[in-house]
């Protein structure tokens, strides 16, 4: 039944849990806030270390022969593209008597179309005066090139019209000659031919006059376009404020840093797959979350509540240890210090009933090497656990972090409480811990969650947790008891869930 339930829950699990993702990103707020702060500092430093070079701006009114009221800006975009050509750059450099290459000069200026006929040119230089001179030379070169193109287009159109007029005048001369030659003739056909020649002459005369007028108009419109193309805003230096530039760059850097930090935190959370919700931790470990404690002592006004929560948790652990016929251990994952403190508190609570020995199986023997204080229980290392008398109660402290010697955990206690830091172990490792403890026939009483998310509202209770957490003990009891009745010990129902917030204990 448990296997089918687990399979159904796995099948119903979403591909991406947004709630878990939001919680994981929020828990990494120090990272993305630090990245945002770094972006802010980098933006401000860029404004200070790489200040904006001296810049000048000028505006040019550009008149086009093809101007239309509904023009979408194609003509002005063409002018911007023409501005970024070596021909105009070379003409401007020649007027400045500068040996600079046109390709290099083109990197120092930009053009933008403000309207369909207004072009803004921005140029940088070594100084404000140099930037203004370069802007004026560039504007003059553009205006001269634009006027030259207008005149060339008008001359080409006028020449084509005049050439057509000259061709028609030659044809008219032939018609006049034919009329002169055919005047003495008489007869019906001669009269008809003469009449058609006169009609042809009138048509050619009209067309010649029309082509002449159109050629004149083509040249008449040119001065208007030339006069309309001019510099309307003289080149002037752009005043750059260092504080304003620093503030702008810092704001941009802050936004980019926050976006980058949030993206990295989100991707890292998905890739790492480290459960942070009590629902996920309980599901992966196969045991219910029975208590929660903050990782740090907390603020001053919360310390009393946290101390009371630790005392309630110690009392509950002591009650469980007294009613258990087998040794109880505390196994940590990512929170060795909190587990050590909790083990010493538990040993002190049990010391009222008789001698208590704490067996230290933590990496580095954190408890065995510490200097004992007055009233502290006896602490021995894992090697010295065999010399502890059987009548003395033992409290084991160990670790289920990567590199754990799983076969040694039985000597710490066959019933254990997992003290897990939220977001420390991956889902795969939590599964490994659950399987290894079951293989070692170590019953998991429950999970104490350290550093929980204060806004976590998920349920960390497994309703089938008895079959899951105590399967090693059940299998052992089944082998020892055979077909006789089997006594199942009822777990104590205790909870000291105290998140690091004003959330009410549940």
**Spatial CA neighbour of 447 closest among 475, 474, 417:** 417
Question: For residue 242, how far is the Cα from the chain centroid?
Answer: 28
Q: What is the pLDDT of residue 474?
A: 42
Q: Hunting for tokens 């947790």 — which residue is that?
A: 465
CA 317 – CA 330 distance, rounded (Å)? 10
Type and span of the H or E element at 82 = helix 74-83
What tens-digit pLDDT sequence spans the chain (506 residues)? 444 444 444 445 566 778 888 888 888 889 999 999 999 999 999 988 888 889 999 999 998 877 777 778 889 999 999 999 999 999 999 999 999 999 999 999 999 999 989 999 999 998 989 999 999 999 999 999 998 888 887 777 777 777 788 788 887 788 777 777 665 555 566 677 777 877 888 888 888 887 777 777 666 667 777 788 899 989 998 888 888 889 999 999 999 999 999 999 999 888 888 888 888 898 889 888 888 888 766 566 667 777 888 888 888 888 888 888 888 899 999 888 888 888 888 888 888 888 888 888 888 766 766 676 776 787 887 666 666 776 778 888 999 999 888 888 888 888 999 999 988 888 899 999 999 999 989 999 889 999 888 888 888 887 764 444 433 444 444 444 443 333 333 333 333 444 444 433 33
CA 506 – CA 493 distance, rounded (Å)? 12
Q: Hunting for tokens 């959370």 — which residue is that?
A: 269
Q: What is the pLDDT of residue 467?
A: 45
CA 388 – CA 396 distance, rounded (Å)? 12
CA dihedral 1, 323, 407, 288 (to 10 degrees): 40
Q: Which residues of 99-125 are buried (b: 16+ CB within 10 A; e: fewer)?
A: eeebeebbebbebebeebbebbbbbbb
Q: What is the pLDDT of residue 301?
A: 64
Q: What is the pLDDT of residue 2?
A: 43
pTM for this prediction: 0.61
């Amino acid at each position: 039944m448990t296997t089918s339930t687990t399979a159904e829950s796995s099948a119903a699990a979403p591909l991406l849990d947004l709630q878990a993702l939001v919680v994981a990103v929020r828990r990494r707020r120090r990272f993305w806030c630090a990245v945002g702060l770094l972006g802010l500092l980098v933006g401000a430093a860029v404004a200070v270390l790489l200040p904006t070079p001296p810049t000048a701006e000028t505006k040019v009114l550009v008149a086009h022969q093809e101007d239309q009221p509904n023009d979408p800006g194609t003509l002005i975009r063409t002018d911007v593209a023409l501005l970024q050509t070596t021909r105009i750059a070379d003409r401007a450099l020649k007027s400045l008597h500068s040996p600079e290459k046109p390709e290099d000069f083109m990197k120092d200026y930009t053009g933008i179309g403000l309207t369909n006929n207004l072009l803004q040119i921005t140029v940088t230089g070594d100084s404000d005066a140099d930037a203004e001179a370069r802007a004026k030379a560039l504007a003059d070169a553009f205006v001269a090139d634009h006027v030259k193109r207008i005149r060339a287009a008008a001359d080409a159109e006028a020449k084509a019209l005049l050439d057509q007029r000259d061709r028609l005048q030659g044809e008219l001369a032939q018609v006049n000659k034919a009329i002169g030659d055919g005047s003495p003739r008489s007869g019906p056909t001669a009269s008809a031919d003469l009449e058609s020649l006169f009609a042809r002459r009138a048509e050619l005369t009209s067309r010649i006059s029309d082509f002449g007028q159109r050629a004149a108009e083509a040249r008449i419109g040119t001065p208007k376009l030339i006069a309309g193309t001019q510099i309307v805003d003289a080149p002037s230096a752009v005043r750059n404020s260092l504080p304003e530039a620093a503030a702008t760059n810092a704001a941009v850097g802050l936004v980019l840093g926050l976006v980058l930090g949030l993206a990295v935190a989100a991707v890292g959370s998905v890739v790492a797959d480290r459960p942070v919700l009590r629902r996920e931790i309980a599901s992966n470990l196969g045991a219910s979350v029975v208590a929660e404690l903050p990782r740090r002592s907390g603020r001053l006004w919360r310390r009393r509540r946290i101390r009371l929560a630790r005392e309630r948790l110690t009392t509950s652990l002591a009650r469980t240890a007294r009613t258990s016929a087998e040794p109880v251990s505390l196994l940590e994952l990512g929170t060795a210090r909190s587990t050590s403190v909790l083990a010493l508190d538990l040993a002190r609570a049990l010391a009222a009933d008789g001698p208590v020995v704490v067996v230290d199986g933590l990496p580095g023997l954190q408890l065995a090497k510490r200097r004992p204080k007055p009233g502290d229980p006896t602490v021995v290392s894992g090697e010295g656990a065999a010399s502890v008398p059987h009548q003395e109660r033992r409290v084991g402290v160990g670790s289920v972090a990567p590199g754990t010697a799983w076969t040694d955990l039985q000597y710490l206690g066959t019933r254990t409480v997992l003290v897990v830091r939220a977001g420390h172990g991956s889902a795969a490792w939590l599964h490994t811990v659950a399987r290894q403890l079951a293989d070692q026939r170590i019953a998991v009483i429950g999970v104490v969650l350290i550093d929980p998310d204060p806004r976590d509202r998920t349920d960390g209770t497994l309703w089938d947790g008895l079959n899951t957490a105590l399967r090693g003990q059940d299998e052992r009891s089944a082998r020892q008891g055979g077909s006789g009745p089997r006594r199942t010990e009822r777990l104590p129902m205790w909870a000291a869930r105290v998140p690091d917030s004003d959330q009410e204990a549940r």
